[in-house]
Structures are given as C-alpha cells and as structure tokens.
C-alpha cells in the first residue's frame, strides 16, 4: 500500500512539473531579484529562499510575520552573511494540494538555495521528490508526519519535532494511567494516517492497542462527524486520541458535546493541533472552553529564555504590520528559527569557500520535441553540501537547542502536557524522551543520565471531563446492544463443575456460581449471555475453546479451564479460583505383611548410629565408674560383659548396676532421656506401620509409568494429552482418551492386558471426585507433578480480566469460595489420596541429630573432667615419690651424685587409673603424713 502511494506521488509530481511549464502563476515576492553571482568572489550579492504555506490558517497567520521579522533581522545583522542579502520568495498554498504543489514549482524557478515549508505533510510528500531532483534542501517548520524523516526523502529536514515523539509521549501517557485500549480519531491524509500508525506501534510496546480507528476526510461536514462519533461511542474504550488539523478540529468537540461524550468517564487526548488553535485566538470563547473542559492536550515544548520573551513582546508590532489577524503560537517561533538556520548555515557554507551555482537537469531537458519547457527548473549544484552544513548546525534559537541526530530529528524532543479546565489550559507536566514525565522543565535533567523508569514518572493532578479528579476506568461495556459472550464447555463428565441446564442462565455448576458471584462484586453492570460450546457427546477441546476466545468469537471462556503457558499467549486469565495439578491414578492392592516389619520404624543409618551410641555410653560409664564402683571391677572378661549388658539394658531401663560417681550419674541421666525419646518414637512409628492399611501398586509414579510402555488414560478434551506428548515425550499411540467416569473405572479395572489402561493422568479436582465415586478402589501414586490452577479466560488486554481477578480475591477473603465449593463438591467417600508408603513413617538420623549432639557434648565434658582429675592425682603421687627418693639418697651417701629422677610413665598412669579412687586418696594421705613427720624431725635435729 505504501509503495502504491509513493508511486502515485512521484507520478503526480512529474505531471505537475509538466503543468508548470504550460501554466505559470504570478508569484508574490518580498524582494524578488535576479540572482547575481560575482565571479571574483564566492559570496553572491543575494540569495533566494522560498517559503510555501497557507496564509489564511492558524499556522500561516503566525508564520508570515515571523518570516518577515527573521529576514529583517538577518539582513540587519552585520555578523551574518555580510554583503549577501537574503531574499524570501512566498507562495500561498491556499489549503490545496494542487495549488500548493504548483506554488512549490514556481518557487523553485527562482533558483532558491533552500525552500521553507510546506506546513502540510501531504504536500511535503509530493514536493520532496522535486527537492530531491533539484538538490534543494526542503526545511519544514510545520509538517510533522513521521514518514517524512525516512531515507526516501534525503533533502527533507524538519525544523520542528516529528510526530514520532509526540505519539510516543501519548503512548506513555496511556500507559501511565494503565489504560489498555484507545480509539483514534484522525483526518484521513498523510499527516493523520502516518501519525496514528506510529501511535499504534508505540502503544504495542506498552501492551496497549488502538481498538478502533475513526478516520474522516479533510473538510468533512458536521453531519459526517456526528455519524462517526456516534459509531465511536458504541465502542468499549472511552479513551479518545484526536489527531486532526487545527483549522477544523474544534468541530469534533462541538459534536461530541451534543452527543454527551464529554462527561464523566470519558478521556479526550488531543495532539498539538488543539493548543495551536487556542493559542492562535486572542480571546477564547467561553463556550469553546466549556466544550474542552477536562481535555488533555500536548504542545511542542520550547524552553523559556530572554530571547523568547523579547520576541513575544515584539509580536504585536509584527502582526499588525504583516498579518493583522496573526496571533502568536509555537509555529511562529519555529518559522523564525528556520530562517535563521538557513542564514547561519549559509555563513558557514560561504566561509568554507563554497559557491552557489545552478545547472540544467539533463533528465528534464529531454522533451522529445514537446513544447513543454522543463529546462526552467535548475539543479542546485552545491545542494548536497549545503544540506550537510544545515544538518551539522548546533546553536540555540527561540525554540531551544537546534541540533540534529543521525536520523534527521532534532535532539531532546519534549512536549508540554496541559489540562484544560475552567481557568483555561493548565500545565500538569512535561514529557521528554530523556526522562519521560516530570513536573520540572526537561532541560534540568539533560545533564543527568536518562531515566524513564515508571517509579520516577510524575504528573500533577488532572481534572478529567465531568470535573472529576479520579482517573477514569477508560472503558465501558459497548453500547451496541451486544452483551458479553461467554463460552461454556458442554461437559459429559464431572458435570458438577459446569454443565448445560434449563435454568435462566442455561448453564450451572461450580465454575458458573463462582463467575456469577464475582460479577456481582463489580461496580458496574455486565450484560452477558452464556453460549454452550461442544456437541454434548464428548467433552470439547479446551484448546479450541481458547482459540475461539482469541478469535473474538467469545469474549470469555468460563469453566474448568486450566491455566497453562501456551494458552496465556493468546488470552488473559484471571486469578485462579481453584488449585489444580496433574496426578497419576493406578489400581492398588493390599501389601503382604513382612516378618521384618519391626525393623521398619528406623532407617538403616538410624539403627547403626543408635547401636553405636549404646556401645559408647557403656564404655564411658565403665571409664567413669571403674575407680569408684565394685560392680565395674574384676577380671577383664567380666568387665567386658558388664559393659555390653549395661549398654543395652538401658534401652529398657532394666540395668542393675548402680552408678556412684557424680560424672557417671550425670552422663546416665542424659542418656536415659535420649533412650526415652527413641523408645517413644520407635513405638509410635511401628504402631503407624502396623495399623495403617498398606497398599501397593505396580506404578510408583510418573517416571515408572513412562518407563512401563503401557497404555495411559487421559480425559477427553483436557490439556493432559498435549502435556504428555509435548513435554514428557510419551508416544501418542500409548495415550487413550476416555469419555467419562465410567470409562475411567472400567479401563482401570481391565488393566492393560484386558484392553484397559495401566494408569490415568488427570487433574487433581477430577481425581478427587473419581476416587470418591469408586469407593476408594484406586489411589494416586507418586507426587503431583504439575502445579496449575483454573481461571476464566478473557481476550488479550481485556480490562474486565483485571476487575474479575480482584473480585475473585475478594470472594476468597470473605470465605465465599469455600462455601461454593462445599455446595458443589461434596464427596460420598473421603479417600486417602496417595498410597501410604512405609518410608513416610521411618525415622532417620536427621530427626535425632540434635539429641545425639547433646549426648556427645556431655560425654566429652565428663571425660575431660575425669582425665583432668586422674592427671592431677598422678602428678601428686609422682611428686611425693620423687621427694622420698631424694631424701633417701642424701642419707645413704652425701658424696654420690644424685640419681636421675624417675619420670612418670604411661604405665604408671594406667596403674593410677586402675586403682580405686579410695586407695589413691589413702596413698596421698599417707605420703602427706610421712612428709610432715620428716619435716618435723629435721627441724628438731641441731
């Protein structure tokens, strides 16, 4: 389509070139002079610049005084162009594409080095081909169509902002208020269509969209606008983006007012055309302001500066002299800056030593004998270089910093965001591609890193239509008479969840009651109708039902719809109202009793650790009691038997040996506490194993089922089939679809050898019902291997899905979900879901490692104290013996050298350990007495 438009534009441009030669219109000029080139100097005495726009328009009435002021200022400034005079050649396009194009050709005849304009994007598309052919830079101060910046038009350069940025700003505004759909109202020309196309792309990045495009032709009458808005008002979205021309856009709000479309609940967003129209009127009619109450409008942002303030003060004298009806708006500043951009670029162009020359276009000279004189149009030989100089300019003008990026867009695009209320337009913030929304001017953030994160976006309070400050929801149910179309699966099994009925709704079940209860909690009415999906003979495919919702055949699917990843790619689910997951159901039989059941309460590791601790405690008690207790003394054989007997007799608290040492009693007390806990746990575990009915199955879980290569049953229409095939790589030939509960039960009873199935894979809610109705003949085996839930499936980006999720959460918090569940999901028999595994009752070391750790610490402390006491006694004995030996040697011979003191050996230490504690104390007492007597006798001897 775009290619056809381009071809048509090129063809039209060529035809108009031909018409130009046959029909030359008079041209108005503000100093049309012949172009003179001084052969001795690179600077000509004058250069011509063309200007093409509609005089009698909001933009034109402001642009012409600005052009004249700029020309006057440039020629008066001795630092610019010096001896070269800048002339401007005007032409009025008169709001006509044909006349505007003809005017562009006449302007080009004057050997212009640049053309300023047009203000119309449509004309810009056509004459851009002429500018490309003649190498004349085309500088537009008002054509904002984003496609004019493409590589297709290399000589087109925009001195204002592209609508690409404005549409991204509007998309950010829609996302800021969390709206999902908008209606676009636009003029059906290049300006309107291409701008709205960019808006659609920008909204898609925010997970929003244009739900309806309402286009009208330029110059449309009131009646057509009324019909268009009446059809728009039937739509769901209440967010209207208006992208039209400033000269006719106010008609839309007048008609919307008559249709009651500017009240509470509506949102109107206008592009920069609206404020251009309001700024161009000295006194706005109060009736007009009443029409626009609550509208949010965007406007090109121009930073405040002394230069801008002086220009505004000068404006009154400018408009009275050049355009009596002209009123200041932002396009006046862009027009003024465009002339200065050309002048500054020319100064750089000439200072580089470049010249201005023109030559005939050989492509236009081939007329083949025709009377059409195409040679009147000349090619600007240095046009490419001059265009590059313009692109490289960097200075500050009335509209801020004038600098271009690689895509020919001005840097740092920004917009004012204004809210129109009873006091007129009020600024509520700014938008820039550097920081997003802010309440501070954008230039204050340019020195900082870009930051467009949502948490940093700020806007002031907005008064919406109807004089409300609460942000509108942004959508309503359509007024086109169509209720919400609800698709309901026509189940043939498990009908308590959802089924067809003859009541007023036409359906009933657990899922229907939850949906109705949630609908009642919404703050607005929801007209709805239930449509049964399926033939009633087999369960319908739920994936196909989801596809119907995605294809707009249903607005929502209500039923036992499982939330799975693949489905979320096409629809939006609500908050789950029931938990679910896939489980395996298999036949079971009673387990045979084992003669070794008494060993099952403990794991092998627990038995080993417990036995080791029993031996350790016997050995430690023997060490602590051996020096004190006669029962722990005697021949080695007797002592070993005593250790073993004492160790294991503590298990039953039947040990006959008494403990007499303090450390031994402390260790035994802690150990008996541990034995008490172990005995109690063993008894409880053994009781559970022996009293709970033990069931076994050939299928232990999903892994063993897949490895068995036996048939697997699944519910007809459910997602389990695709899950087994796509995720678990089960061959489709092994999977058997089962129609209802009767087929479930019969297939399980027959088994794979009798033409049935080895097990069934289905969702947990269904299995609970199946086990109850089968008198608990079957059980689930293995763990639940998926964790999902049931939800209501709405169309993508449906705002109703969010409200319904909130309502479901409210039902859950109020306990109403549980009440509905008890109403529909009552079971005849409460069955134990899974087979009881004896391993679940076994006690492992992990359960008792804390007790064993305490025992180990107590034993370590007791042994440490015992060893310290033994070493202390041994040291004292050695000291006494050494003293006796010294005294004996002195008495025997005073001349003989002293013998080496006998060092204590390990054998001596063992002797101390083996002796009774009482004997050691008696020995120490006797040696102390002897030492005392020896001291007394030595003192009496003179």
* CA dist., res. 188 & res. 201, Å (int): 18
Q: Is 542 helix (H, G, I), strand (E, B) or coil?
A: helix
Give CA separation, 304 vs 67, 334, 375, 442, 459, in Å.
21, 14, 47, 11, 20
Q: Which residue, chain included where needed, has tokens 């489709």?
A: 732
Average pLDDT over residues 189-207: 94
**Out of 588-602, 638-652, 915-929, which region has the weakest mean confidence (pLDDT)?**
915-929
pLDDT tens digits, 122-131: 888 888 988 9
The answer, yes or no, to whether residue 213 has pLDDT greater than 90, is yes
If one compares 427 and 590, the residue with the highest pLDDT of the two is: 427
Contact 620, 859 (CB under 8 A): yes
If one compares 339 and 593, the residue with the highest pLDDT of the two is: 339
The answer, yes or no, to whether residue 645 has pLDDT greater than 60, is yes
* CA dist., res. 739 & res. 494, Å (int): 11
**Cis upstream peptide for 394 (omega within 30°):** no
Give whichever of 306-320, 529-543, 591-605 has the largest mean pLDDT. 529-543
Query: In the beta sheet, which residues pair with residue 359?
Result: 379
The answer, yes or no, to whether residue 110 has pLDDT greater than 90, is no
Give CA separation, 124 vs 9, 63, 117, 158, 559, in Å.
10, 17, 8, 11, 56
% residues pLDDT > 70 (the chain)? 79
Nearest Cα to 372, choosing from 131, 102, 19?
A: 19
pLDDT score for 27 = 36
pLDDT averaged over the chain? 82
* CA dist., res. 277 & res. 284, Å (int): 10
Q: Exposure pattern of 664-693 as b/e (b: 16+ CB <10 Å)?
A: bebbbebbeebbeebeebbeebbeebeeee
Strands (E), 739-860: 759-763, 778-781, 788-790, 793-795
pLDDT score for 896 = 41
pLDDT score for 463 = 94
- pLDDT interval class at 19 (50, 70, 90): very low
* Upper half-sphere CA count for residue 739 (Cβ side, 13 Å): 7
**Out of 56-65, 843-852, 923-932, which region has the weakest mean confidence (pLDDT)?**
923-932
pLDDT tens digits, 570-583: 999 999 999 999 99
The answer, yes or no, to whether residue 591 has pLDDT greater than 60, is no
Give whichever of 309-323, 692-706, 877-891 has the largest mean pLDDT. 309-323
pLDDT score for 893 = 44
Between CA 522 and CA 530, with CA 524 as vertex, the angle to 5 degrees is 75
pLDDT score for 247 = 78
Q: Going by C-beta distance under 8 Å and a sequence separation of 6 or more, which residues neighbour residue 613?
A: 674, 852, 855
* CA dist., res. 854 & res. 666, Å (int): 13
Nearest Cα to 101, choosing from 135, 145, 63, 131?
A: 131
- pLDDT interval class at 5 (50, 70, 90): very low
Q: What is the pTM of this model?
A: 0.68
pLDDT tens digits, 141-167: 999 999 987 678 999 999 999 999 999
Which structure tokens are listed for 259?
Answer: 């249709």
Q: Which residue, chain included where needed, has tokens 């089924």?
A: 499
- pLDDT interval class at 899 (50, 70, 90): very low
The answer, yes or no, to whether residue 3 has pLDDT greater than 50, is no
If one compares 176 and 58, the residue with the highest pLDDT of the two is: 176
pLDDT tens digits, 214-243: 999 988 899 999 999 999 998 889 999 999
Contact 304, 32 (CB under 8 A): no
Query: In the beta sheet, which residues pair with residue 397?
Result: 400
Average pLDDT over residues 730-751: 90
pLDDT score for 653 = 62
- pLDDT interval class at 375 (50, 70, 90): low
Q: Which residue, chain included where needed, has tokens 């052969």?
A: 39
* CA dist., res. 318 & res. 302, Å (int): 20
The answer, yes or no, to whether residue 8 has pLDDT greater than 50, is no
% residues pLDDT > 90 (the chain)? 41
């Amino acid at each position: 389509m775009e290619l056809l438009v381009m071809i048509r534009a090129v063809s039209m441009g060529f035809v108009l070139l031909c018409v130009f030669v046959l029909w030359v219109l008079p041209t108005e000029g503000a100093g049309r002079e012949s172009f003179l080139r001084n052969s001795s100097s690179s600077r000509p005495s004058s250069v011509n610049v063309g200007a093409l726009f509609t005089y009698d328009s909001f933009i034109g009435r402001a642009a012409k005084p600005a052009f004249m002021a700029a020309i006057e200022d440039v020629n008066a400034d001795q630092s610019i162009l010096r001896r070269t005079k800048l002339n401007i050649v005007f032409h009025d396009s008169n709001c006509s594409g044909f006349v505007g194009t003809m005017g562009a050709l006449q302007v080009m005849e004057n050997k212009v080095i640049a053309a300023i304009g047009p203000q119309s994007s449509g004309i810009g598309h056509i004459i851009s081909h002429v500018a490309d052919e003649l190498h004349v830079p085309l500088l537009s101060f008002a054509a904002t169509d984003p496609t004019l910046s493409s590589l297709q038009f290399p000589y087109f350069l925009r001195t204002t902002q592209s609508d690409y940025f404005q549409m991204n700003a509007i998309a950010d505004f829609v996302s800021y208020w969390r709206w999902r759909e908008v209606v676009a109202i636009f003029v059906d020309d290049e300006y309107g269509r291409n701008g709205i196309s960019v808006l659609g792309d920008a909204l898609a990045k925010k997970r929003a969209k244009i739900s309806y495009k309402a286009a009208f032709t330029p110059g449309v009458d009131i009646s057509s606008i009324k019909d268009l808005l009446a059809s728009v008002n039937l739509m769901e979205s209440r967010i209207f983006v208006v992208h039209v021309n400033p000269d006719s856009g106010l008609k839309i709000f007048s008609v919307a007012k008559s249709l009651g479309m500017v009240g509470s609940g509506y949102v109107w967003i206008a592009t920069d055309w609206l404020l251009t129209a309001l700024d161009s009127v000295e006194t706005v009619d109060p009736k007009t302001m009443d029409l626009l109450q609550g509208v949010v409008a965007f406007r090109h942002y121009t930073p405040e500066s002394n230069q801008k303030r002086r220009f505004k003060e000068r404006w009154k004298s400018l408009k009275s002299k050049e355009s009596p009806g002209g009123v200041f708006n932002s396009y006046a500043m862009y027009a003024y800056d465009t002339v200065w951009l050309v002048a500054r670029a020319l100064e750089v162009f000439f200072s580089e030593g470049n010249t201005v020359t023109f030559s005939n276009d050989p492509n236009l000279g081939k007329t083949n004998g025709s009377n059409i004189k195409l040679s009147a149009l000349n090619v600007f030989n240095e046009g490419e270089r001059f265009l590059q100089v313009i692109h490289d300019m960097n200075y500050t003008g009335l509209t801020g910093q004038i600098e271009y990026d690689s895509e020919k867009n001005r840097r740092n695009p920004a917009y004012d965001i204004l809210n129109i209320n009873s006091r007129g337009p009020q600024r509520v913030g700014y938008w820039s591609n550097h920081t997003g929304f802010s309440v501070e001017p954008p230039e204050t953030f340019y020195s900082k890193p870009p930051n467009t994160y949502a948490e940093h976006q700020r806007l002031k309070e907005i008064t919406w239509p109807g004089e409300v400050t609460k942000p509108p929801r942004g959508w309503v149910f359509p007024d086109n008479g169509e209720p919400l179309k609800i698709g309901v699966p026509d189940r043939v099994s498990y009908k308590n969840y959802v089924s067809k009925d003859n009541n007023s709704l036409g359906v009933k079940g657990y899922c229907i009651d939850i949906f109705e209860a949630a609908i009642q909690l919404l703050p607005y009415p929801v007209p709805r109708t239930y449509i049964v999906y399926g033939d009633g003979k087999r369960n319908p495919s739920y994936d196909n039902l989801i596809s119907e919702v995605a294809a707009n055949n249903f607005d929502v699917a209500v039923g036992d719809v499982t939330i799975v990843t693949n489905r979320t790619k096409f629809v939006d689910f609500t908050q789950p109202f029931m938990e679910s997951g896939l489980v395996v159901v298999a036949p079971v039989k009673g387990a045979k009793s084992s003669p070794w059941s008494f060993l099952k309460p403990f794991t092998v590791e627990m038995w080993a650790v417990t036995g080791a601790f029993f031996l350790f405690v016997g050995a430690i008690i023997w060490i602590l009691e051996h020096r004190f207790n006669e029962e722990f003394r005697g021949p080695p054989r007797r002592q070993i038997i005593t250790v073993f007997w004492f160790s294991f007799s503590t298990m039953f608290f039947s040990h006959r040996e008494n403990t007499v040492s303090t450390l031994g009693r402390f260790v035994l007390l802690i150990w008996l506490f541990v034995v008490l806990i172990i005995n109690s746990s063993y008894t409880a575990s053994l009781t559970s194993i022996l009293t709970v009915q033990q069931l076994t199955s050939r299928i232990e879980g999903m892994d063993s089922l897949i490895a068995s290569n036996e048939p697997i049953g699944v519910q007809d229409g459910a997602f389990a089939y695709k899950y087994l095939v796509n995720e678990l790589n089960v061959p489709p030939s092994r999977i058997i679809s089962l129609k209802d509960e009767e087929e479930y039960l019969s297939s399980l009873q027959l088994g794979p050898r009798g033409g049935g199935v080895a097990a069934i894979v289905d969702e947990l809610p269904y299995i609970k019902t199946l086990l109850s109705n089968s008198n608990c003949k079957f059980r689930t085996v293995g763990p639940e291997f998926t964790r999902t839930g049931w939800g209501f499936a709405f169309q993508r980006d449906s705002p109703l899905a969010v409200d319904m999720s909130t309502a479901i959460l409210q039902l859950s918090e109020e306990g109403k979900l549980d009440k509905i569940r008890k109403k529909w999901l009552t079971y005849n028999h409460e069955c134990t879901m899974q087979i009881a595994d004896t391993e679940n009752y076994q006690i492992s070391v992990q359960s008792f490692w804390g007790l064993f750790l305490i025992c180990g610490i107590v034993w370590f402390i007791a042994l440490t104290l015992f060893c310290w006491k033994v070493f202390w006694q041994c040291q004292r004995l050695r000291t006494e013996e050494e003293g006796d030996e010294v005294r004996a040697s002195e008495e025997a011979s005073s001349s003989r050298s002293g013998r080496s003191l006998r060092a204590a050996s390990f054998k001596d230490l063992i002797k101390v350990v083996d002796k009774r504690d009482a004997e050691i104390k008696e020995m120490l007492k006797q040696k102390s007495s002897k030492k005392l007597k020896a001291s007394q006798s030595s003192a009496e001897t003179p």
